[in-house]
Amino acid sequence: MTTTPSPAPPFGRALCAMITPFTEAGSLDVDGAQRLAERLVSEGCDGLVLSGTTGESPTTTDAEKSELIRAVREAVGDRASVVAGVGTFDTRHTVELALAAEKAGADGLLVVAPYYSKPPQDAVEAHFREVADAAGLPLALYDIPGRTGTRIEPETLIRLAEHPRVVAVKDCSYDFLGAQKVLSRTELAYYAGCDEHNLALYAVGGAGYISTVANVVPAQLRAVLDAFEAGDTPVSARLQQRATPLIELMMSAGLPGSVTAKALLHELGLPAGPVRAPLRPARREAVDGLLAAYQELVTD
């Protein structure tokens, strides 16, 4: 019996939710962003997601977002996809950012559910349709109700999948059953947005991941998917388990991923810079714990 290979995911399989490097004075570090992007791609990332949660999008300006896209596009060329976070709580502003991202050279758009105002599902659906109609790029819908206060319900995703430019989901819903329901009824590419789900979602038909932890260990996370693709499920499981202590410290220890990723990158001598207020840097005790977990993962 022959099987038809699965279509390639629209933005690649191993994507990094890249931090936005800043200078010590707090301005956008364009050179640092290019150097970090180059490292991430050379160590296994097939895509970079800019100006998402980890990229501190609420505190970067529209002009900085476009400048970041242009800089990263120049650095990576066509070796990796560049997906731009453009979601806001304002549909009109989101459309403006989508058009600017397209002009700046992005390959796709990450559009988060409208936050704070808690619109009902028909309004959420209308928001995404308006952005998809206005933009010429494919969309990944970002379902992260813990931050937005609004879920993109599975039935809403199933309806939105009918739009030709809605092609993917970044899933931070913690609803594994809901994700499988959408996978079974649509052709949407599902990306794990929570690193502890990278292998689990991939194993049931997900497209890959959009990872914060990949900022510091891109090769180690890519190896999980590669082992699974090679048919070695026990090895992929072991590799995922080995990464779990670092994943937990970076994502579930009380600090935002942008804070922990920048703390580790700074310790490794890689571009990062400070976080912008209201975020604050990690304290020394937290940094020491992160560094110990990182060293154990990469040296074992």
Distance in angstroms between the alpha carbons of the first and the last residue of the chain: 40
Reported pTM:
0.96
Does residue 193 belong to any structural domain of this protein? yes
Q: Which residues of the chain have pLDDT under 70?
A: 1-7, 300
Does residue 225 belong to any structural domain of this protein? yes
Does residue 251 belong to any structural domain of this protein? no
Does residue 1 belong to any structural domain of this protein? no
Widest CA span in the chain: 61
Q: Residue 8's pLDDT is what?
A: 82
Q: Residue 6's pLDDT is what?
A: 58
How many domains in the chain?
Answer: 1
Q: In angstroms, rounded to a whole number, what is the distance separating the alpha carbons of residues 299 and 288?
A: 16
Does residue 186 belong to any structural domain of this protein? yes
| Structure confidence by residue, pLDDT tens digits, 252-271 | 989 999 999 999 999 999 99
Does residue 250 belong to any structural domain of this protein? no
> Which residue range forms the structural domain that includes residue 218?
14-229
Strands 47-50 and 81-85: parallel
Residue 189's CATH number: 3.20.20.70
What residues are annotated to the active site?
A: 142, 170
The secondary structure of residue 107, as a DSSP letter, is S
Does residue 261 belong to any structural domain of this protein? no
Does residue 245 belong to any structural domain of this protein? no
Q: In angstroms, rounded to a whole number, what is the distance separating the alpha carbons of residues 122 and 139?
A: 18
